[in-house]
Amino acid sequence: MDAQTLLDLEILESTDGKNNHLFHLLNHTITQGGEDVLKHKITQAFLSFPAIKQQQQIIQHCIPLVQQWRAIIHEKDIVSAELYLQSNIQINELEPNVYDKWIAKLFKWQHPDYFHYVHTNIVSLQNLLGNLNEFISQNPIITQLSTEYIYTPIHNICTSTFAPNTTALSKKEEFATLSIDEQLRKHKANYIKNILEWIYEADAIMSMAQACIEHNLQFPEITEACGIEIHNFRHLMIKDPIVNDILLTQQNILFVTGPNMAGKTTYLKAIAHALLLSHIGMGIPATVGKIGVFKDLFSFIGITDSISKGESYFQAEINRIKLMAECLQKKQAVAVIIDEAFKGTNIKDALDCTILFTELSLQWSRSYFIIATHLTEVYTDFKNNSHIAFYYFETKQEADQLIFDYKCKPGLSEQRLGLAIFKKNGLPLLMTPKERN
């Protein structure tokens, strides 16, 4: 996904500057490293079919372990371990003889603050790795996340470094503390760094599992065949949302029509979020889904003109289509979300461009184009095309009230409510001079 798509779909930030974005809803990470990994997973979402299936299985397996994970992993312990490994405090290379034991006592006496720092962080790391060792050994299912190269060093450090020195550490013995410090910071530092990297990865996965629990996300069937079939899906950022369906099995282009404020843009964004979540192995906000594998997601929603570039709104749209075309050429299977294309030109031009764009899009059978439009005239040209579907929203008018049900149905709407909304908001009165000159 490019930066404009991330912004259009409110993936990492919202248009109102608040926390109304997808990442905020998914981020239950404990560590900063875990948050960074989660952000990378979301922005680099479109994995291969086997990778999606594997990730889906791992998240499903981790759902029962979320609370146990959150009980043993604490941010302060991770930060302490990171800082401890980076510390430039002198490493004492000691042998188990009388002289070196005296050197250890001397260090503690001369540098009490350094000694306290080293001892405190060793104990913190001992507790962290001990908890991890027990967690992994008690939950064999987690081995999908903790391969041998991680579990073995955790187990070895716990059994060979910490276990023989538990009593000495509890008594803050100088020689034992400084000998362990040498082992950890000089000989085992790379192992511990790898363990921390694993914790970040696991933290991101556990966050995704927690989000599936909290938002009641259901895992869709991922298929190598093309198609989008999602039932009773909803927009995650809307309170008391209305659920809708999308069924594109024989078609790869969907036109969504309907009046302003009827729910078209929300519908498009909800579909995009479901596609994104499914491609990182997560559940989706729906009751059931069957989704083919895409290689990218591309959107046309928040396009603007640019004075600095000398770029009109229509030119900005054309430039965006060029980027989409390049994406299609590279990725072949792309989900494209378009909200009111060709607004920057007159209605006749916009219709002609939409018809040509649709004809060209039909050549990309593995890519799917979901397009909200007011140009219902396209129906005449494509109503008999089996690769194009038409859905619509409608709004009821009762006296001067507009009633929105936000339900999307198969078919076409030619309903026009712009004038009604203009009047409903009291603009004729507001724009009428109170005193005539």
Average pLDDT for 204-225: 95
Token duo for residue 63: 């759902």
Give the mean pLDDT of 136-145. 71
pTM of the model: 0.88
Sorting pLDDT into bands at 50, 70 and 90, what band is 302?
confident
- The confidence band for 346, taking pLDDT boundaries of 50, 70 and 90, is confident
Does residue 260 surpass a pLDDT of 90?
no
Question: Would you call 437 exposed, middle or buried from its count of C-beta atoms within 10 A (0-12, 13-18, 19+)?
Answer: exposed
Q: What is the mean pLDDT of residues 109-115?
A: 94
- Residue from 317, 295, 290 nearest 305 by CA: 317
- What is the overall mean pLDDT for the chain? 89
Mean pLDDT on 23-47: 94
- Burial class of 71 by CB neighbour count within 10 A (0 to 12, 13 to 18, 19+): exposed
Work out the pLDDT band at 98, boundaries 50, 70, 90.
Answer: very high
- DSSP track, 154-217: HHHIIIIIIGGGHHHHHTT-HHHHHHHHHIIIIISHHHHHHHHHHHHHHHHHHHHHHHHHHTT-
Read off the pLDDT of each residue in 196-200 and give the average, rounded to a whole number. 93
Question: What is the share, in percent, of the chain residues with pLDDT greater than 70?
Answer: 90
pLDDT category at 343 given cuts 50, 70, 90 is confident
**Mean pLDDT throughout 143-165?**
82
What's residue 316's pLDDT?
84
pLDDT over threshold 90, residue 34: yes
Q: Which of 299, 283, 295 is nearest to 370 (CA)?
A: 299
Residue 185 contacts residue 85 (beta carbons within 8 Å): yes
Q: Given a cut of 60, is residue 57 above it in pLDDT?
A: yes
Q: Given a cut of 70, is residue 148 above it in pLDDT? A: no
Statement: residue 425 has pLDDT above 80: no
- Spatial CA neighbour of 128 closest among 54, 197, 75: 75
**DSSP assignment, residue 63?**
G
CA-to-CA distance for 41 and 235, rounded, in angstroms?
20
Asked if the model's pLDDT at residue 308 lies above 60, the reply is: no
Residue 389 pLDDT exceeds 60: yes
| pLDDT (0 to 100) of residue 433 | 73
| Cα–Cα distance list, 198 to 84, 134, 392 (Å) | 18, 16, 47
pLDDT above 70: residue 423? no
Tokens 């910490």 sit at which residue?
Answer: 162
Contact 381, 354 (CB under 8 A): no
Q: Which domains, ranges and CATH numbers included, belong to the chain?
A: 27-214 (1.10.1420), 221-430 (3.40.50.300)
